[in-house]
Every structure is written in structure tokens, then in C-alpha cells.
Amino acid sequence: MRRAIVSPQVQAVGLQCLACPTRRSAEWGVLRDRDMQALSAAKSSRTYRKGEMVYAQDQACPGLFCIASGTAAVARTEPRLPTVLVRMAQSGETFGYGNVVRGGMCDTSAKVLEPSVICRIELPILATLFDQHPRLVQRFQSRLAEDLARTESALAQLAWLPVRSRLARLIMSLAEYRGTANGRGVLSLTLPMTRRDMADLLCTRPETLTRTMQAMESDGIVRCNGHQVDIPDPERLHEAAQAQHLG
């Protein structure tokens, strides 16, 4: 049995929302400094290890989560079907609002893809915030509409694009966040997740992912070394992201 005492890697950390590098981003941007400070005092935050669950499907919703640093993913498991990672959340992004709206039961789970620090705002605190700040409610409603649009888009891409194109798009979107211009204009990137997570995100099998990655490497589109990925020619990656057949 796991000990109740948190290990050195899993510790509560006292983050100040006002000092959060992502405080202006998205939903929370509508709060004034004093509200931010109140939020800061009321929330809790802690580190998560790679692969750790943030919340689990069919359990009571523990609140709303906001990523201070790291990467998480929201997963959906249909009865008798393998799990799908339906969306990723990166630094500064909030997730878990759907569960809040639904009244507190989780219809998804969430897990951490790389070591992360994540803040949690419990339901009662949230309720107070929403009462006092109608604009915050609006923001989160917009976020819900945005998530819906993105999921529809993912559905269309899953339907019509081969794994190769979907993988190219995933790499592009990751590079947008964390790509760094290497020597001689080579774009470089550290993948924030395992191959298995990438497979779950692309809705394919780990074996297929490996082979597709190697195919792209032998085509000179990417150069891989563990979680390190180099993109010699972004334009060619962009080509690979397009549909090949388009009936």
C-alpha cells in the first residue's frame, strides 16, 4: 500500500496566481487583482508525476484544474473500448469545466503526461466566484463552445486523415508551443509525452505510431532521438499534414 505521506516529488506548493506566468491567459484574465488574490488563497496546488491521474471517470468532480507547468490530457473511456485522449492541456490552460457544469460527476478522466504542477479550485469556491463574476461564467461558456469545435474538428481529421498526417499535425502543434530554433534554422522540440500517449491521442496503436514515425524519419521529414525531435524543413512537415488522396 502507498504511504499517506506524500513523497518528495509529490508536494503541495504555494503558488501565487498573481505571479503565475499565465495569469492573463484565457478565462482568468477577466478577474481583477484583488479577486485573483482571493482565488490564490483559496486554491490548492501540487506536483504530479508522469502518468498520475488528476481525476477519474465516474467519480465526484474534485473541482476545476489549471496547469501552472507541465502537460495533462483529458481521456474518455467508452464501455468495452480502449481509452482515447480527447484533448491536451498545457501550461496556463484550465480543464475539467464540463464536469462542473454537469453538476459534479466526471464523465472523463484526466492524467498527467509529464511532471506537472497543477492548481485546483474546489466547487464551493468556484460557485462563489461565478456568482460574483458573470463575465467569468461567460468566459467558461465560450471555452466549452471552443472545446466542442475543436473536438468536432478532431473527429473530422480522424475520419479522413491517415495516421501520418495526424502525426504531422500533432508534431506541428507541439512545435508551436515548445519548438526552439536550433542552429541553421532547424526547428527542435522535446515531446512532452510517451509514444503510447501519442498513440492514444492520435487514436492508433503504438506499433503503428512507431512505424509511421520511422517512415517520416526515413523520408527526412523529422529526425528523432528519444523524445527529441528535429524538423529540418517545416514546409515538408506541413505537406505531410495534408490529405494525400482527397476523394
Size of the site for its own copies (CB under 8 A): 37
DSSP state of 7: P
Query: What angle separates helix 33-42 from helix 123-132, to the nearest 10 degrees?
Result: 170
Nearer residue to DNA within complex by CB, 8 or 103: 8
Q: State in angstroms the smallest separation of the CB of 124 from DNA.
A: 32
* Residue from 30, 46, 51, 122 in contact with DNA (CB under 7 A): 51
Alpha-carbon distance values, 212 to 165, 198, 207 (Å): 10, 12, 9
Q: Does 83 bind DNA (CB under 7 A)?
A: no
Q: CA 229 to CA 56: how far, in whole Å?
A: 32
Nearer residue to DNA within complex by CB, 34 or 245: 245
| Helix, strand, or coil (residue 158) | helix
Phi, psi for 24 (deg, rounded to 5): -80, -10
Nearer residue to DNA within complex by CB, 2 or 184: 2
Which long-range contacts does 160-164 make (Cβ < 8 Å, 24+ apart)? 160/243, 161/243, 162/244, 163/202, 163/204, 163/208, 163/209, 163/212, 164/212, 164/215, 164/216, 164/240
Measure CA 239 to chain center.
25
Q: Does 130 bind its own copies (CB under 8 A)?
A: no
147 binds, among its own copies, DNA, none (CB under 5 to 8 A by kind): its own copies
Q: CA 8 to CA 71: how far, in whole Å?
A: 20
Q: Does 203 bind its own copies (CB under 8 A)?
A: yes
Q: Does 154 bind DNA (CB under 7 A)?
A: no
Stretch that binds DNA, among 56-64, 126-134, 176-184, 210-218 (CB under 7 A): 210-218
Minimal CA–CA distance to 201: which of 146, 163, 156, 231? 163
Nearer residue to DNA within complex by CB, 83 or 188: 83
Q: How many CA atoms lie within 13 A of 44 on its CB side?
A: 9
Q: Does 104 bind its own copies (CB under 8 A)?
A: no
Site for its own copies in 52-91 (CB under 8 A): 76-78, 80-82, 84, 86
* Residue from 6, 152, 211, 219 in contact with DNA (CB under 7 A): 211
Q: Which residues bind DNA (CB under 7 A)?
A: 7, 9, 49-51, 162-164, 194-197, 203-214, 226, 244-245, 247
Q: Which residues bind its own copies (CB under 8 A)?
A: 76-78, 80-82, 84, 86, 98, 101-102, 107-108, 141-142, 144-145, 147-149, 151-161, 203, 205, 242-243, 246-247
